[in-house]
């Protein structure tokens, strides 16, 4: 399957829309100069959320932003979500902030290394280690690349870097960028409004999917485990492609499966809200819990290795059958999970085929899919037929 935009059945997440007027939300403007902003990024106070889109601007676009700041031209404001005291997530403005960061480091990332650099950036607490920063395999010098203003009139900033700005360096250091800090006041402990704010304010060119927003808001060691699980060869074989989904639909399937395994008895619509709450709660997981869930997943991959290729692919539309996978994962792993063991229940290809065509299961998978009784029916039928 090469079309990664069409891997999966439509997920039942569209049933959740926040009524913003039911929430109390504050939005406070602050003007931080670029030196302060970069220091905030380095300290981890301002975080580029984990697994948010990689840095995608080219050097020409980044150079235009830097030129605008030097000249005092207006630049778009940045939106930050106040996660806790002195801890802010970037809602909108990742590309601008990283352009400033890289310019002050005098290094620009190579295109083919950006995914790896994103991982290094996360693991290093919001900074690139000096050894990597000065490694030419990862970076090239960041010299401004600006077009002529008029034919035969070179741009006086073209070819300069942060160190060679001369008298303009202090001007650049002190130039301010407007930051809007968003905070949900009430209801306390419920991030649903902020989830919607992420969706509405992000201006990356394409709306973020619910899972992309989740990965921004709830990045944790548990999410690190999901990312590892998503790259396991056995899982890529089940999905039917080696290429991870650009919009994290494969990660979302894993999240759904773990959330139902751990907390199915507390499921209540919508699926979006259920997954948000589970993601938030999982931020508090002991690392031993994350390792245990990963080991359980590894055992599931072992017992499904004998299944025929495309066992979870709908032949009708060539898409991955989310309901079939999460239900069989639940049925195979729930007994072991309850015992805190890893003795995952085996099932045959014939049993899985029977579940796929079971009238009750199919009915609960195609209509009202996120209703509590539909979810319960799917898990119940899987537990019965795969037992």
> In terms of Cα–Cα distance, which of 300, 326, 344, 342 is closest to 382?
326
Q: Is the dihedral of CA 382, 385, 386, 387 positive or negative?
A: positive
The tokens describing 48, both together, are: 């580029």
Whether 340 and 216 share a structural domain: yes
Structure tokens at 314: 């709908």
| Final residue in a domain of this structure, among 139, 154, 186 | 186
Residues 181-200 pLDDT 10s: 988 877 666 676 677 777 77
Contact 42, 34 (CB under 8 A): no
Do 232 and 381 fall into the same domain? yes
Residue 197 lies in a domain: no
6-19 pLDDT tens trace: 556 655 554 444 44
Give CA angle at 296 (125, 335), nearest 5°.
135
162 and 283 in a single domain? The answer is no
**384/336 Cα distance (integer angstroms):** 16
Q: What is the pLDDT of residues 199-208, one digit of tens each?
A: 776 554 556 7
pTM over 0.75: no
Work out the mean pLDDT of the chain and round it to a whole number.
Answer: 87
**What is the tens place of the pLDDT at every residue in 280-291?**
999 999 999 999
Burial label, 236 (beta-carbon count in 10 A; 0-12, 13-18, 19+): middle
Q: Within a 10 A sphere around the Cβ of 77, how many other Cβ atoms?
A: 15
* Domain presence at residue 193: no
Residues 6+ apart with CB under 8 A from 1: 7, 240, 241, 313, 318
Residue 90's domain comprises 25-186
């Amino acid at each position: 399957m090469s079309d990664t935009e069409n891997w999966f059945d439509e997920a039942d997440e569209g049933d959740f829309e926040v009524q913003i007027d039911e929430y109390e939300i504050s939005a406070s403007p602050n003007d931080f100069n670029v030196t302060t902003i970069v220091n905030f990024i380095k300290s981890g106070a301002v975080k580029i959320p984990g697994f948010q889109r990689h840095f995608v601007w080219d050097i020409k676009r980044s150079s235009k932003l830097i030129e605008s700041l030097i000249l005092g031209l207006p630049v778009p404001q940045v939106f930050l979500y106040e996660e806790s005291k002195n801890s802010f997530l970037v809602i909108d403005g990742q590309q601008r902030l990283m352009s400033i960061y890289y310019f002050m480091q005098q290094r620009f990332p190579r295109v083919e290394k950006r995914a790896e650099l994103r991982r290094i950036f996360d693991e290093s607490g919001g900074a690139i280690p000096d050894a990597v920063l000065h490694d030419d395999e990862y970076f090239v010098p960041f010299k401004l690349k600006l077009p002529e203003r008029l034919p035969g009139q070179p741009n006086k900033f073209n070819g300069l870097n942060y160190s060679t700005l001369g008298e303009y360096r202090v001007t650049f250091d002190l130039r301010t960028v407007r930051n809007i800090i968003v905070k949900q006041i009430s209801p306390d402990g419920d991030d649903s409004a902020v989830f919607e704010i992420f969706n509405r304010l992000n201006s990356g060119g394409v709306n973020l999917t619910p899972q992309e927003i989740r990965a921004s808001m709830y990045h944790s060691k548990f999410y690190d485990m999901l990312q590892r699980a998503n790259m396991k060869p056995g899982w890529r074989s089940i999905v039917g492609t080696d290429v991870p989904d650009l919009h994290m639909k494969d990660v979302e399937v894993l999240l759904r499966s773990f959330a139902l395994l751990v907390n199915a008895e507390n499921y209540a619509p919508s699926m979006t809200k259920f997954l948000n709450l589970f993601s938030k709660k999982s931020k508090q997981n002991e690392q031993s819990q994350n390792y245990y869930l990963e080991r359980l997943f590894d055992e599931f991959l072992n017992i499904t290795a004998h299944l025929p290729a495309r066992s979870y692919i709908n032949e009708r539309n060539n898409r991955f059958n989310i309901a079939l996978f999460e239900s069989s994962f639940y049925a195979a792993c729930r007994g072991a999970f309850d015992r805190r063991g890893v003795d995952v229940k085996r099932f045959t290809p014939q049993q899985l085929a029977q579940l796929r065509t079971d009238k009750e299961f199919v009915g609960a998978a195609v209509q009202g899919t996120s209703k509590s009784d539909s979810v319960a029916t799917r898990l119940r039928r899987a537990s019965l037929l795969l037992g």
